[in-house]
Structure 1
Amino acid sequence: MNNSMEDILNSLGFGSPSTEKELSNFRKFYSDYEFKSNPNCIDPEKIWESIHAPKITGKDYHKRTVLAAEIVFQLHEEWSLGHLKLQKLIYLCQNSIGMALHTQFLKQAMGPYDPKLMRSIDSQFLKNKWFNFNKYSKQKYLPLENVGGHKEWYERYFSDELEDIQMLIDLFRKMKTYQIELIATLYDCWKETLKEKHQFDSETIISKFYAWSEEKQKFTADQINNAINWMRDNRIYPITDN
């Protein structure tokens, strides 16, 4: 059996040198071979993140659904509430309050947006019989028989942030979709600027805003500056770690 296995390994090229001649040939063949990696291609931060990334659980998905349910519960009669406004409010809750929510906001034409998030939330709303989303209706979110059933979970998950969430909901209650789009996009540009420069720089923020997408050309410089001033007055802006 041992001889047969050795013959098979040798035939596949996995055998070990067994004679002086084979050993000499082996040394000559691998004399210039180096086993090494390129340290410039190694990203320690990504390795660390992959090792220590928190495991996503059903609770993470439920938590963000419950937050969305509270926002919709309070604002569903406002005709300005749709997918875009709801997403921007979730984004601002997560970032300005510092919530740990499982989301992946990407740079979309209309600002920070997570398309999978909306599909998940709409699906969970229906499953729990809280709301039904109808994009063709003036009132996009229609209450179902279990509307309000999220409340117990909401108070449990967000007991430490209830006042901050309510402040954001009240601030943006009557705000139109394009206005909250403007503020959420500015927030992301502001955050990126602080990460690079560690200080507020309105010119850089505005430059990043216009570079975001051609869609942003619809906003005038005055609208952007007024929005920045409003954000500062209402303390809706990122803060540098320094």
Structure 2
Amino acid sequence: MGNSKIDNLFGAIGFGFPENKEELKSFDEAFEDYPFQANIQKINPKKILADIKKSKTEITKVDYHKRTVLAAQIVYKLQGEYTLGHLKLQKLMYLCQHTTSMSLHTNFLKQAMGPYDPNLMRSIDKQFKVNQWFEYSPKDYPKYKSLARVGGHKDWYERYFEKQLFDIDFLLEKFRTYKTDQVEIIATVFGCWKEALEYNELINNELIIKKFYMWHKDKAKYDKERINSAIEWMKTEGICPL
């Protein structure tokens, strides 16, 4: 199989996972005879591909509604904060999902701004308007404006996230006044820490900091002491990968 086929495939899906049946078909064809190289004791690539196929074919309207409801609760609680915008909202969704192991359909990729799902905000903004909960206004402060049915997500929220209500509220209060760059650092550290655990690596601050700088070249703008302080703060607050 030629490299161009792989390049075209990944270019088409933005280095993310396949998003529909057509992309899954292309993925299968492109990697049918691909000799995966990995430490089978740490990671099983064939099992990962099987899990991806399964998850992508079982996504329902409820999955999309559930993540919209979580986003609505975050905005509802932090709506008046000038620090709340798309990036902070995404990072809080990421941390809520992975600190509580909730089932939530997202596709967070390694981006300059940390874990980021490029399609998530477009979907959330659209559903906010459809439900008449909020409207995003990027040039204004605060950026989220209440619409006619604001608060209409609450019953759904308590139903979907009954077991995580306390933990979500804890996170939202912790990050209420945090600026975007602060939340970005913590979410990226979390992603690096989570990756190290998945690869059964020995966890220490130096490893996490190394992974932080390897995440994206833009991470060089943050000095080592700031990252180290974020790690120590996360340990103290218990905001760590499970």
TM bin, normalised by shorter chain, reads 0.7 to 0.9
What is the TM-score normalised by the length of structure 2? Answer: 0.79
Whether 1:142 and 2:141 are equivalent positions in the alignment is no
1:198 to 1:213, Cα distance in 2 relative to 1, 3 A: closer
Partner of 1:100: 103
**2:65 is equivalent to residue 62 of structure 1:** yes
Query: Given residue 235 of structure 1, which amino acid in structure 2 is its aligned partner?
Result: G
Mapping of residues 44-193 of structure 1, within 5 Å: 44-46=46-48, 48-49=50-51, 52-53=54-55, 55-193=58-196
Computed over aligned residues only, the root mean square deviation of the Cα atoms, in angstroms, reads 1.9
Question: 198-207 or 166-175: which moved more?
Answer: 198-207
What does residue 203 of structure 1 align with?
206
Give the whole-Å Cα distance in 1 for the aligned partners of 2:52 and 2:86: 31
What are the ranges of 5 or more consecutive residues in structure 1 without an aligned counterpart? Answer: 1-36
Counterpart CA distance in 1 for 2:129 and 2:150 is 10
CA distance in 2, matches of 1:83, 1:148: 19
Q: What 5-or-longer segments of structure 2 have no aligned partner?
A: 1-31, 38-44
Q: What is aligned with 2:14?
A: none
Q: Distance in 1 between matches of 2:238 and 2:131?
A: 35
Tell me if the contact between 1:193 and 1:201 (Cα under 8 Å) persists in the aligned partners: no
| SS of corresponding position for 1:132 | strand
Letter in 2 for 1:177: T
**Cα 1:55–1:78, aligned 2, differ >3 Å: closer, same or farther?**
same
Could you say what secondary structure the match of 1:61 adopts? helix
Aligned to 1:217: 220
Q: What secondary structure does 2:115 align onto? A: strand
Larger Rg: 1
C-alpha displacement of 1:76: 0.8
Query: How far 1:62 sits from its partner (Å)?
Result: 0.2
In 2 relative to 1, CA 159–234 (structure 1 residues): closer, same or farther, beyond 3 Å? same
Which amino acid is 2:90 matched to? Q
**What is the match of residue 197 of structure 2?**
194
The amino acid across from 1:98 in the alignment is: S
**TM-score, length basis structure 1:** 0.79
2-structure distance, mates of 1:47, 1:200: 26
Q: Which amino acid aligns with 2:229?
A: N
- Note the alpha carbon deviations across 1:31-57, whole angstroms, 9 max, x for none: xxxxxx969469531453256436000
Offset of 1:64 from its aligned partner?
A: 0.3
**Offset of 1:213 from its aligned partner?**
1.6
CA contact (8 A) 1:134 1:140 kept: yes
> Which residue identity does 2:224 align to in structure 1?
A
Identity level (%): 51
- Residue in 2 aligned with 1:21? none
CA distance in structure 2 between the partners assigned to 1:142 and 1:50 by the alignment: 36
Could you report, residue by residue, the CA deviation over 1:112-144 in whole angstroms, capped at 9, with x for unpaired residues? 001211000000000111000011002110111
Report deviation, 1:227.
0.3
